[in-house]
Chain A
Amino acid sequence: DIQMTQSPASLSASLGETVSIECLASEGISNDLAWYQQKSGKSPQLLIYAASRLQDGVPSRFSGSGSGTRYSLKISGMQPEDEADYFCQQSYKYPLTFGSGTKLEIK
């Protein structure tokens, strides 16, 4: 199985600050990487797919980048509604696997 190592496990940011979350795959995943946001008590919401493509309706302050084994999610200008858990997921090989998550809080 492909292991997804996500960092940091937790993060606090001030409003307006730019934050980055990273995922490292145990092997190359050819940009088959998605990012999800999950607010407390809610279902995950797809933010980014194919490493850098923004899902419809997702604010443009969210962006994804990376290649090979290293991928990152950037939030340019933290907003109150961005306080949530974030997960990466690879879809290059089955079984699909998720990162362990990053808890993002407002400082």
Chain B
Amino acid sequence: QVQMKETGPGLVQTTQTLSVTCTVSGFSLTSYGVHWVRQAPGKGLEWMGIIWGDGSTNYNSALKSRLSISRDTSKSQVFLTMNSLQTDDTAVYYCAESWFAYWGQGTLVTVSS
């Protein structure tokens, strides 16, 4: 049974760095990729990036300069790190497996000055 769960800080100050962890079970991170998708309040979905089973990454070019996705396969965890946060980075951050059949519950991150 596949499960995915995001954990994040809840509140982050502007200009600071965001770190969100996605903990997975039911599949191996070396076999499947994990996407990050975010959704600002009342808005649509924005794809942020993916870490593939071989550890390579693809990023949304709009975020690439601020975004990093990494993982710890021994802990079945994927990490999203994004710097220079602004208020418009306030969103629910989701992780999803490579085919988008499974998603985490999401974690709300509020960026405040």
Contact = CB atoms under 8 A, between A and B. Distances in A.
Interface residues of A, number: 19
Contacts of B94: 43-44
Interface residues of B, number: 19
A99 B44 contact: yes
Nearest to A57: B101
A94 B63 CA distance: 13
A43 B44 contact: no
A100 B59 CA distance: 20
B104 A95 contact: no
A95 to B, nearest CB: 4
Contact of B44 (A45, A49, A55, A87): A87
Contacts of B60: 95
B45 A95 contact: no
11 contacts: A34-B100, A44-B37, A44-B45, A49-B99, A55-B101, A87-B44, A95-B58, A95-B59, A97-B47, A98-B44, A98-B45
Contacts of A94: 58
Contacts of B106: 43
A99 B47 CA distance: 11
Contacts of B99: 46, 49
A46 B101 contact: yes
A44 B94 CA distance: 9
A96 B60 CA distance: 8
A43 B45 contact: no
B103 interface: yes
Contacts of A31: none
